[in-house]
Structure 1
Amino acid sequence: MLITEKHGAVAVLRIEHGRVGALDVELLNALTDAITGSDRALIITGTGSTYSAGVDLRRILHGSPVYTEALLTSLSRMYQALFDHPRPTLAAINGHAIAGGCVLALACDQRLMSGGLIGLSELAVGVPFPTSALEIVRHAIGSRAGVMLLGARNVDPQRAYQLGLVDELTTPESLLPRAMELAAELADRSPTAYRLAKEQLHRPTREAIAAITDGDAAVAAGWTAEDTRQRIAAALAALNRRRANPDATPSQR
């Protein structure tokens, strides 16, 4: 599910969960525990051609509203734990970072990418955006947050670099070595100064998240609504058709 490799002052958290690193309650809780339990610089990466394809929509579709509410709670806890981690955090994006997987990368201090697509495609599926995720995205990419979120499109690495979604492009072979090099460099700086700088930079985002006093009730209601479930079902059916017939034109799928 989650493999931790320690290299001196740096720890690599490698997502190895199913074929696409989908975020479910179990993986989210494992990530939160690994992040909060570490005093090292962290690198988060994935396996194969995927960094993380986002929330496990099948679990939402076939689960109960209780599971969906638990998922949203775990999702916000994990994002905030990563965003608040006092040591350096880097996303080594080895492949597709879609929807919640993109937010996972944006919650890190810096992002390197070697392949795949990246984007905030939640609205294309019909699921509302949790407040913590939205504010972290706004912090990471500023004025481009609206275009990425409302447009709900995924982009290639070159376009992601142009948009400021990622800070550096690498080859697949150099991705992790370069991330290790950069993480070690950042980890060598004063831990106190680094922590205080992050707290100062993140304060407006933390205040915006804390200002939502209803616990994202409207978002939770949107995720469990019948219309949302129908849209998720349609999106999963379209995905299954593409996997079954990858060479077909869009009109044939």
Structure 2
Amino acid sequence: MLNLVKHDAVTEIQLARPPVNALNLDLLRALQAALAQAVQEGARGIVLSGAQGMFSAGVDVPELMTKDRAGVREFWREFFLACAALAHAPVPVVAAITGHSPAGGAVLSLFCDYRVMAQGPYRIGLNEVQVGLVAPDCIQMALRRIVGAYRAERLLIAGALIDAEQALATGFVDDLTGVDQVVTRALHWLNETLALPSHAMLATRQIARTDLTSTYADVDALPIDTFVDAFFHDQTQATLKQLVARLKKKD
């Protein structure tokens, strides 16, 4: 599910669920445990990476579609807990976006401090609308704080997947580099940040991220049931079933 790599004071958490790092309950729980473990073991910074060419394809929709309402709610609660774990990480976290990053993969990156993406034919975005899902405000705000309110509105309503150059131009990501250099560039940014006076840097970071940490202070206060209701909307279910059918044809 995960590969953990130590880079001196930095721990790299690499998503490793072939073939596309699709997010399911086990992977989300493993990610939360790895974040906590890295901090416990003294990591001063964390890199979240994926496979070359694919950061994460987002939610494992085929698996999620087999679940009843309780199972779907359990999944989304775990997803928001993973977002909360990234939001509340006491050390800087860089998303090393090593390739495509639609939907859930893009969302996880928004909760990191900095985003380095692979140059090339890779796409990122919150394409929930295109697959019939409603992006709740607690996810929309994570995008708004990165790209601004109007740009977030346009991207979210269209469910747009944008290429790496567009992602840099809109501020969705902070840096681009070759696909084989994404982790190296992420480490470079982290090491520069960690070279700053730690007390001042960490205290300033905590203040700057108050909007995220306050929104995700209590995951059970988030509108999970409203989101699950929307998941089971007839139109959403029809769109998701079409998506699963297309994915099965590719296998």
Q: Is the 8 A contact 1:96 1:117 kept in 2?
A: yes
Q: Which amino acid aligns with 1:6?
A: K
Q: What is the aligned partner in structure 1 of residue 155 from structure 2?
A: 148
Q: What is the aligned partner in structure 2 of residue 183 from structure 1?
A: 190
Q: Cα 1:112–1:73, aligned 2, differ >3 Å: closer, same or farther? A: same
Q: Quote the Cα distance in structure 1 between the aligned partners of 2:98 and 2:221.
A: 36
Alpha-carbon deviation of 1:48?
Answer: 3.1
Q: What is the aligned partner in structure 2 of residue 87 from structure 1?
A: 91
Alpha-carbon deviation of 1:90?
Answer: 0.7
Q: What is the aligned partner in structure 2 of residue 19 from structure 1?
A: 19
Q: Which amino acid aligns with 2:35?
A: I
Q: Is the 8 A contact 1:10 1:43 kept in 2?
A: yes
Q: Which amino acid aligns with 1:138?
A: R
Summarize the alignment of residues 216-231 of structure 1 with structure 2, pairs less than 5 Å apart. Answer: 216-231=224-239
Alpha-carbon deviation of 1:92?
Answer: 0.9
Q: Which amino acid aligns with 1:217?
A: D
Q: Quote the Cα distance in structure 1 between the aligned partners of 2:211 and 2:14.
A: 30
Q: What is the aligned partner in structure 2 of residue 237 from structure 1?
A: 245
Alpha-carbon deviation of 1:138?
Answer: 1.9
Q: 2:127 aligns with which of 121, 128, 133?
A: 121
Q: Which amino acid aligns with 1:5?
A: V
Summarize the alignment of residues 54-203 of structure 1 with structure 2, pairs less than 5 Å apart. Answer: 54-114=58-118, 115=120, 116-143=122-149, 144-203=151-210
Q: 1:46 aligns with which of 43, 50, 55?
A: 50
Q: Deviations over 1:88-133 (max 9, x none)?
A: 1111111100001011111111111114111110111011224432
> What's the secondary structure of 2:95's corresponding residue?
strand
TM-score, scaled to structure 2: 0.89
Q: What is the aligned partner in structure 2 of residue 249 from structure 1?
A: none
Q: Quote the Cα distance in structure 2 between the aligned partners of 1:30 and 1:214.
A: 22
Alpha-carbon deviation of 1:213?
Answer: 4.1
2:8 is the counterpart of 1:8: yes
Q: Deviations over 1:218-250 (max 9, x none)?
A: 112112334322211112223445x37xxxxxx
Q: Cα 1:167–1:100, aligned 2, differ >3 Å: closer, same or farther? A: same
Q: Deviations over 1:71-99 (max 9, x none)?
A: 11111111111122121111111110000
Q: Is the 8 A contact 2:110 2:143 kept in 1?
A: yes
TM-score, scaled to structure 1: 0.88
Q: Deviations over 1:32-58 (max 9, x none)?
A: 111123232111111132100111101
Alpha-carbon deviation of 1:19?
Answer: 0.8
Alpha-carbon deviation of 1:214?
Answer: 6.0
Q: Is the 8 A contact 1:107 1:140 kept in 2?
A: no
Alpha-carbon deviation of 1:140?
Answer: 2.0
- Aligned residue pair count: 243
CA RMSD of aligned residues (A): 2.0
Q: Which runs of 5 or more structure 1 residues have no equivalent in the other structure?
A: 245-253
Q: Is the 8 A contact 1:76 1:130 kept in 2?
A: no
Alpha-carbon deviation of 1:172?
Answer: 1.7
Q: Quote the Cα distance in structure 1 between the aligned partners of 2:193 and 2:210.
A: 21
Q: Which runs of 5 or more structure 2 residues have no equivalent in the other structure?
A: none
Q: Quote the Cα distance in structure 1 between the aligned partners of 2:139 and 2:2.
A: 21
